[in-house]
Amino acid sequence: MNSKMLKRAALTVALGACLGALAPSVMAQSATGAIAGRASSGDQITIVNKATGLTRTVTVGADGSYRLSQLPVGDYSLQVKRDGQTDKEPVAVNVALGGTTTVNLGGGGASGAVTLDSVQVLGTQIVNRVDVYSTESSFNINREELARMPVEQSMDSVALLAPGVVGGNSSFGGISFGGSSVAENAIFVNGLNVTDIYDRQGYSAPPFAFFKEFQVKTGGYSVEFGRSTGGVINAVTRSGSNTFEGGAQVTFEPSAWKSAGRDHYHPGSSTDGHFASRDSSSFTKTNVWGSGPIVKDKLFLFAMYENRNTYSRFSSGQTAYNTGKANDGFWGSKLDWNITDNHTLELLAFSDDGETRGTKYKYNWDSARVGDVTGTSTNEGGGTNWSGTYTGHFGQNFTAKAMIGRNERKANARSGGDDVCDFITSNTSGQNSYAPYLNQMPNKTLGCSPSREVVEMTNTRDAARLDFEWSLGNHLIRFGADREKLTTEQMSRYSGSGTMYTAYVPTPGSEVFGGAGVYIPPNVTQMLMARRNVSGGKFDTVANAFYIEDQWNVTPNLLLTLGVRSDSFNNKVADGSSFIKQDNLIAPRGGFSWDIKGDGSTKLFGNAGRYYLPVSNNINVNFAGGLTDEYRYYALDGWTEHVNPITGTKYMLPIVGQQIGPADTSMNTGSGDLRQSVSRDIDAVFQDEFILGFQAMINQAWSWGINGTYRKMDRAVDDIRINHTPCGPVGRSLWVVGNGGGNVTIWGDPSIGCASEGWITIDTSKDGYIKGGSGEVTGYKKPKRRYKGVELQIDRAWDDKWMFNASYLWSKSEGNLEGPTNSDTNFGSTGMVQYYDHPAVNERYGVLFNDFRHQFKVRAGYQINEQWSVGSTLQVQSGGPITAFGVTWPGDSLAAGGFASEGSGGGSGWLCVAKCDKPWNERVLEPTARGAFGRLPWTWNMGANVTWRLPVETVDLTARLSVYNVFNNQTVINVHQRYEANPGVKRDTFATGTRWQSPRYTQLVVTWNF
């Protein structure tokens, strides 16, 4: 045999243990993986799954290449048969989620003959995730690797290990990939899409210990993935094997092991602010599982049950105290049937159904005394999920895969006083704060309802998909289709009569609300804002997609991927007719991968593609079902004391005085005739992305990589305020779902100022809004979002002793809108987030909320000996921008932001600097840029863990103690950005904190496997 070829083959095989954290990868709706490579023509390659005995054999083609696709994730043995002789010893090979493990065995001819028993590898098996068959940007991590480090038990925490993924810092949470909003991601479990369908925030998930491996896709994912312009979390669950196994795991997070939060007072106040020093929580999770063969080599079962017990206590200001309790049972099961070696069937089912019961009490902050119960609440979430997947291999060149499944996620909220008690609250910040009056009241309990809304909602996704792979010489043709029917059944209203009352202190002489034309009388010093908000119905959205891709090995070292995806989205009203229909959305995607040296040690890759984002179901509910959102303003003439019919305690009820001004009905959206509520020609939102990257080995343990990413989005779908059309002034505000800054087509008739009936098109970049007072007609800025990032990463692979990974990301996120959510104003109602409530809201182009310019991430694990090991993570991040929002706009008497509430109306980049108490046309306004008021401070968070293993060979017992936020940093991560309460009146809360880093806490996980 040729010794030079032997060495080359050995190096090719060994490289895989080194680049796992850096490598891009791809596979059809990745719940599986593949093995591929080069060998001598006519060789027979046989692999055997070590856990289940599943066996596949393929003959190497005339061009010297082979591929075994759609393999369950796990460990395999690989053996070659050459010239009728089989190697004596097979080699262990690991198949990772969504990737292709490369095993090259030499070229054709006698000089290139290489037998597996001559190969030397790093570690105990081939773990090749340097995928020269792919152009994606992603990283994989399995449950064993996660156990070496302090990583919280959630899919979000796993994703946050990846460069470019940051936590959403507004109250609605979530995670952001590459400058996107938190409502643009997709989550898959065993190929089933489990992303929330109502607002695309959140997802369904089985018990964390049920997961086997994760793949986090940060960009460049191929055509079988869609409906996302952010990132993808792809996970597979554990399965049964030929060995009977079981285990138990207990997770403890007692409140005594958690540091206290800090209290933050608003400027000049001793009673108003954010209080966390007396908050506490405890968490215990007990997990038991079992797996094994029902029929050896044929039928396998994995089953798990998990009980979670949570108890929390927290203050609401200084006058109320809350407790929350949950004691839920979660479960998951997986059944695998190897019908034959070429045909398999998988069944998955899991439940994350849970319920939290809350109790609200009176509270005296100074004495720390908890008083009488003032109300109770119940919140339900989660649901039951299932999928069935068939995989068939027809010959060695054609593979088919079919999946059906259902994802369920409900969100119900209710309280004991829902039917009889209105929700009463007060404004607690800024110049309109009611705190001075509330502090003088002997009884500070307002109303008898502890929860604002009564919500009953169930979301279901019925999914089906087909995926095919056909190997034709140097071409791997991949094609398929998928269909999702997304159904929302929802009813939402305020408790009691359906009206919520907010007490506040008005500014004398100011307008009651923008456009009211009525001003606060000088003798009115206390007011009530009465808001009525009702929505509901049953609504469907149908999403269909088709895709085809050619993975073409132009040469043995150069791969081109050329694909196209066609999406269609059909949002429907309750009677099944369409109200937003977007067809034939063509998304081309292509990439290349160049194995520069031909041995897998260096790689240059690139990718370019288009990705479409659907309209979420909350738009169906709020527009196709009709949203009543009305505001009325009253003088507050005092308070009277009443007895809570549920708890027997006393509470205060406002005395509603004279109504001041008309009702503000501008936020209503109607069902029925939607021709003036939804544009006839809505174009779908899409993002274009470009990636270029390089990876290289330093040696068999160390590797490094660098890549750059550019993303651009120039389209948005949102509700747009239209008060002017080509026909003239409308006379009121229409709220139309459409492409802000683009053409909007609605039905014109005399009710909106048109002389006759017919379709009219409004170019909202020039028309659509008429300023109050001046009568100037203007439009909205076209949406624009840009993301640029350069990532540098170095990795040291695990070799049964230690591992290390470090990354640095420089990025810049700019534009005039964040996406379908608005973190600037803490507004998370996807697709209805104020950017087109007024032209001033998105007028400014500049740094966006998720512009964290510098990010460093480090993770490491070290095994001291057979009994002890340690691990650590570190995340360092620069602060985001601080942007000011005012309430007025030049030449406009209408408000650009709400006067009574900080969160309403969006806000303007113009601030009043002189003559602010004068009429609108005399005020002096100055513009401010996005990020003009500096940046938030840098944050850093370090975690550490130590693991002990019982030194008894026959007993697998471990205890892992993890400390999160070791140094107890509680740096501010979000601030109030509403600068003005009224023209020229600065809110004293501007640039003060709304959220901080979570305090230090400690977790103990005890695991016994048998």
SS3 state of residue 731? strand
Q: What are phi and psi of 404, to 5 degrees?
A: -130, 155
Average the pLDDT over 298-321 and give the result: 94
The pLDDT score that the predictor gives to residue 678 is 93
Instruction: Report whether 979 contacts 897 (CB < 8 A).
Output: no
Query: Lowest-confidence range among 394-408, 417-431, 824-838, 948-962?
Result: 417-431
Q: What are phi and psi of 721, to 5 degrees?
A: -80, 120
Q: For residue 100, what pLDDT band results from cuts at 50, 70 and 90?
A: confident
Query: Comparing C-alpha atoms, which of 281, 357, 363 is closest to residue 321?
Result: 363
- Measured distance CA(387)–CA(398) in Å, rounded: 23
- Burial profile 706-718: b = 16 or more Cβ within 10 angstroms, e = fewer: bbebbbebbbbbb
Is 437 exposed, middle or buried (CB count within 10 Å of its CB: 0-12, 13-18, 19+)?
middle
Average the pLDDT over 303-312 and give the result: 96
The pLDDT score that the predictor gives to residue 127 is 54
Instruction: Report whether 401 contacts 391 (CB < 8 A).
Output: yes
Average the pLDDT over 125-140 and give the result: 72
The pLDDT score that the predictor gives to residue 752 is 96
Q: What are phi and psi of 978, to 5 degrees?
A: -80, 115
The pLDDT score that the predictor gives to residue 110 is 40
Strand partners, 69: none
Q: How far is CA 705 from CA 17, 165, 526, 791, 809, in A?
A: 15, 18, 62, 8, 12
Cβ atoms within 10 Å of 279's Cβ, excluding its own: 17
Tell me the per-residue pLDDT of 597-654, one tens digit each, with 9 for 90 and over: 888 788 999 999 999 999 999 998 888 776 788 999 999 999 999 998 888 888 999 9
- Measured distance CA(608)–CA(604) in Å, rounded: 14
Judge whether residue 156 has pLDDT over 80: yes
Tell me the per-residue pLDDT of 80-99, one tens digit each, with 9 for 90 and over: 888 888 876 788 888 888 88
Average the pLDDT over 212-228 and give the result: 94
Instruction: Report whether 574 contacts 536 (CB < 8 A).
Output: no
- Predicted TM-score (pTM) of the model is 0.87
Query: Comparing C-alpha atoms, which of 684, 981, 668, 721 is closest to residue 840?
Result: 721
How is 921-964 classified by DSSP, letter by letter? Answer: TT-EEEE--TTTT-BPPPEEEEEEEEEEE-S-TT-EEEEEEEEE
Strand partners, 461: 407, 486
HSE-CB at 764 with a 13 A cutoff on CA atoms is 32
Instruction: Report whether 211 contacts 598 (CB < 8 A).
Output: no
Instruction: Report whether 889 contacts 907 (CB < 8 A).
Output: no
Average the pLDDT over 912-932 and give the result: 96
Average pLDDT of the residues of the chain: 90
Query: Comparing C-alpha atoms, which of 289, 210, 284, 212 is closest to residue 250?
Result: 284
Q: For residue 103, what pLDDT band results from cuts at 50, 70 and 90?
A: confident
Query: Comparing C-alpha atoms, which of 300, 360, 358, 311 is closest to residue 333?
Result: 300
Tell me how far apart the terminal alpha carbons of the chain are, to the nearest angstrom.
46
Judge whether residue 472 has pLDDT over 90: yes
- Burial profile 729-752: b = 16 or more Cβ within 10 angstroms, e = fewer: ebeebbbbbbbbbbbbbbbbbeeb
DSSP letter at 198 equals S
Q: For residue 670, what pLDDT band results from cuts at 50, 70 and 90?
A: low
- Measured distance CA(894)–CA(769) in Å, rounded: 11
The pLDDT score that the predictor gives to residue 316 is 87
Supply angle C-alpha 867, 872, 877, rounded to 5. Answer: 175
Q: What are phi and psi of 13, to 5 degrees?
A: -70, -40
Judge whether residue 113 has pLDDT over 50: no
- Measured distance CA(174)–CA(897) in Å, rounded: 26
Average the pLDDT over 166-191 and give the result: 91
Cβ atoms within 10 Å of 516's Cβ, excluding its own: 17
- Per DSSP bridges, beta strands 55-59 and 65-71 are unpaired
- Measured distance CA(348)–CA(983) in Å, rounded: 58
Is 199 exposed, middle or buried (CB count within 10 Å of its CB: 0-12, 13-18, 19+)?
buried
More confident residue, 511 or 109: 511
The pLDDT score that the predictor gives to residue 106 is 62
How is 214-233 classified by DSSP, letter by letter? Answer: EEEEEE---TT--S-SS-EE
- Measured distance CA(820)–CA(815) in Å, rounded: 13
Query: Lowest-confidence range among 57-61, 175-179, 869-873, 968-972?
Result: 57-61
Tell me the per-residue pLDDT of 708-726, one tens digit each, with 9 for 90 and over: 999 999 999 999 999 999 9
Instruction: Report whether 217 contacts 175 (CB < 8 A).
Output: no
Tell me the per-residue pLDDT of 526-576, one tens digit each, with 9 for 90 and over: 999 999 988 878 899 999 999 999 999 999 899 999 999 999 999 998 778
Judge whether residue 116 has pLDDT over 90: no
HSE-CB at 847 with a 13 A cutoff on CA atoms is 21
Count helices and strands in the chain by DSSP H and E runs: 5, 58
Tell me the per-residue pLDDT of 796-842, one tens digit each, with 9 for 90 and over: 989 999 999 999 999 999 999 999 999 998 888 899 988 999 999 99
Q: For residue 124, what pLDDT band results from cuts at 50, 70 and 90?
A: low
Average the pLDDT over 451-457 and give the result: 85
Instruction: Report whether 587 contacts 686 (CB < 8 A).
Output: yes
Share of the chain above pLDDT 70, in %: 94
Could you write out the three-class secondary structure of 586-634?
EEEEEEEEEECCCCCCEEEEEEEEEEEECCCHHHHHHHHCCEEEEEEEE
Q: Letter for the amino acid at 44?
A: Q
The pLDDT score that the predictor gives to residue 899 is 75
Judge whether residue 64 has pLDDT over 80: yes
Q: How far is CA 605 from CA 554, 691, 693, in A?
A: 14, 8, 5
- Burial profile 812-823: b = 16 or more Cβ within 10 angstroms, e = fewer: ebbbbbbbbbbb
Average the pLDDT over 195-200 and give the result: 94
Judge whether residue 24 has pLDDT over 70: no
- Measured distance CA(829)–CA(198) in Å, rounded: 10
More confident residue, 418 or 725: 725
The pLDDT score that the predictor gives to residue 123 is 47
Strand partners, 889: 892
The pLDDT score that the predictor gives to residue 900 is 67
Query: Comparing C-alpha atoms, which of 909, 940, 908, 912 is closest to residue 925?
Result: 912
The pLDDT score that the predictor gives to residue 477 is 96
- Measured distance CA(188)–CA(707) in Å, rounded: 25
- Measured distance CA(675)–CA(684) in Å, rounded: 18
Q: Letter for the amino acid at 625?
A: G
Q: Which domains does the chain show, CATH number per domain?
A: 3-134 (2.60.40.1120), 401-548+573-583+618-1009 (no CATH)
